[in-house]
Amino acid sequence: MAGDEALSRADASARSARKALARGDRPSARRAAFLALKSDPTCELAWLVLAALADPPARRNYLEHILAINSNRETAIKARKVETGERRMLDRAYSVSRRKRWPDDVSAIEDTKPHKTERIPASIRPEGTRKDAESAAAPSTTSFVRAKQNMVQNLRVVATACEMALKHAATDSFIIFAVFVQPLIIALLGLYMLRERGGDYAIFVVVGSGLTGLWSSLLFVSGGALNQERWSGTLESLVGMPTSLEVVVFGKNLAYVTQSLGSMVLAYALASLLFGTPLRVAQPLLFLASIVLTTISFVCLGLLLAPMFVANPDIRNFVNALEYPMYILAGFLFPIALLPGWTTPLSYVLAPYWAAEALHAASTGTASLNNIALDWGMLLVLGAAYVLIGRWLFRVFLRKARQDATLDFF
C-alpha cells in the first residue's frame, strides 16, 4: 500500500510539474519533478519534464535515463520529440506573451510539428540554448537566423549601453563640466579671438575645435570608462557575460561621442549668440551627412583604444600623449599641407583627417560631390577596418588580461 501511495504521490507531483511547465513556471516545474522522482525514481513523466527543462548536453543524459527505464517505442518517440522539437514549445511556453501554451499532456508533443521558419520568441534562456534548439529544428536556416539574432541582440546591447552611459554621465559632475562647461569656455575664447576675421574663418575654427573636443572626449572619457569599470568591479562582470565586450564599448563610445557633439553644437550656438557672429554652414545637408559618418568613424576608432585599457590600466599615461598629435595629423585646426611630406600617409589612415576634410569643406562651402564622396568612403572603409582590428585587439588583450589576472587589478 505504501508503495501505491508513493506512486500516486509521484504521479500527482509529475502532473503538477507538467502543469507548471505549461504556464512557464520553470522553478516550480523543476521542484515538482524532483518531488515526483523522490517518491518514484522511475516516473517517466517527471524525467521528461526535467529533460524538457534542461539544456543540451544535460537533456541527452535525462533522455538516455528515460530510455533506460522504459525503452518501448512510445517512450522513445516522446524522448526523441523532446530532444529535437520541443524547445520551441518550451520557449513559447516560457515567453511572456504565451501565445501558445504547453500542451496539457506531454505526449501531445508528438502531434506538434515545429515551425521551421517561425522566429522563436525570445525567452530568458541563454542564447546558446536557443541556438541548439534551432539548429536541431531547422538546420538550413541556422546561420541566417543566428546572424539575425546576434545582430538584434547586439543592437539592443548598444542601445542599452548607450542609454546607461548617458544616464551615468548625467550624474557625474566631472563629465558634466567636461561636456557642457569646457566647450562653452573654448567656444567663447575662440570666437572672441577671431571676431575680427569674419564668418567663414570662424566656422572653420569652430568645426576644427569641435573635432578636437570630440577626439579628447573619445580619448579620455571612453578609455577612462573602462578603467572606471575596473575600479567599480564591473569589468569582470562584463567580460564574464555572453555579450562581446567590444559591443558594450561601442554603445558607450556612441553615448560619449554624440553627447560631446551635441554639447559642442550647443556651446557654439550660445557663443555665437553672445558675440552676434552668425555661424552659417554653407552646405547643410552634406555637413549633416558628414557629421553622422564622423560620429560612426570616431566610435569605431574608440574600439582601437579600449582594448589597451582592458589589458593595462596604466596605459592612460601613454594615451595622454596621443591627444595633440591627432590635432595636428588630422588637420583639425590647420591644413596638413603645412606638415612635412612624410606625415601625409599617417594622416590618410586616420578617420578624423577625412572627417575634418569633409566637415571643413561642407561648412565653408568648398565641397564638391566627388571630393566629399571620397571623404565619406574613406570614413566608412577606415571605420570598418577599425572595427575589424579592434575586434582582434579585444580578443588578444582580453586573453592577456585573463592570463595576467588584470581584470580586477586596480
In the complex, the residues that contact another protein under the rule CB under 8 A are 26-27, 30-31, 34, 54-55, 57-58, 61-62, 95-97, 121-129, 153, 156-157, 159-161, 164, 167-168, 171-172, 232-234, 236-243, 248, 399, 402-403, 405, 407-408
CB of 12 to another protein, least distance (A): 18
DSSP tag of 146: H
| Closer residue to another protein, CB minimum distance, 227 or 297 | 227
| Closer residue to another protein, CB minimum distance, 126 or 278 | 126
Record the cell numbers describing residue 167, joined without a space. 544616464
Record the cell numbers describing residue 39, joined without a space. 517518491
CB of 99 to another protein, least distance (A): 12
Residue in 407, 373, 235, 380 with CA at minimum distance from that of residue 301: 380
| Closer residue to another protein, CB minimum distance, 338 or 405 | 405
| Closer residue to another protein, CB minimum distance, 71 or 160 | 160
CB of 324 to another protein, least distance (A): 31
At a CB cut-off of 8 Å and minimum separation 6, what does 265 contact?
Answer: 210
| Closer residue to another protein, CB minimum distance, 8 or 160 | 160
Residue with cell 541548439: 132
Q: Do the beta carbons of residue 186 and residue 177 sit within 8 Å? A: no
- What letter represents residue 304's amino acid? L
Q: Do the beta carbons of residue 209 and residue 333 sit within 8 Å? A: yes
For 243, the 3-state DSSP assignment is coil
Cα 320 from chain centroid (whole Å): 27
Q: What is the rounded CA–CA span in Å between residue 268 and residue 289?
A: 19
Maximum separation of any 2 CA atoms in the chain, in Å: 104
CB of 169 to another protein, least distance (A): 9
| Closer residue to another protein, CB minimum distance, 158 or 379 | 158
CB of 18 to another protein, least distance (A): 16
Q: What is the rounded CA–CA span in Å between residue 253 and residue 219?
A: 10
Q: What is the rounded CA–CA span in Å between residue 352 and residue 29?
A: 57
At a CB cut-off of 8 Å and minimum separation 6, what does 124 contact?
Answer: 94
| Closer residue to another protein, CB minimum distance, 129 or 222 | 129
CB of 238 to another protein, least distance (A): 7
Q: Do the beta carbons of residue 271 and residue 184 sit within 8 Å? A: yes
CB of 314 to another protein, least distance (A): 14
Q: What is the rounded CA–CA span in Å between residue 292 and residue 268?
A: 18
| Closer residue to another protein, CB minimum distance, 26 or 78 | 26
CB of 54 to another protein, least distance (A): 8
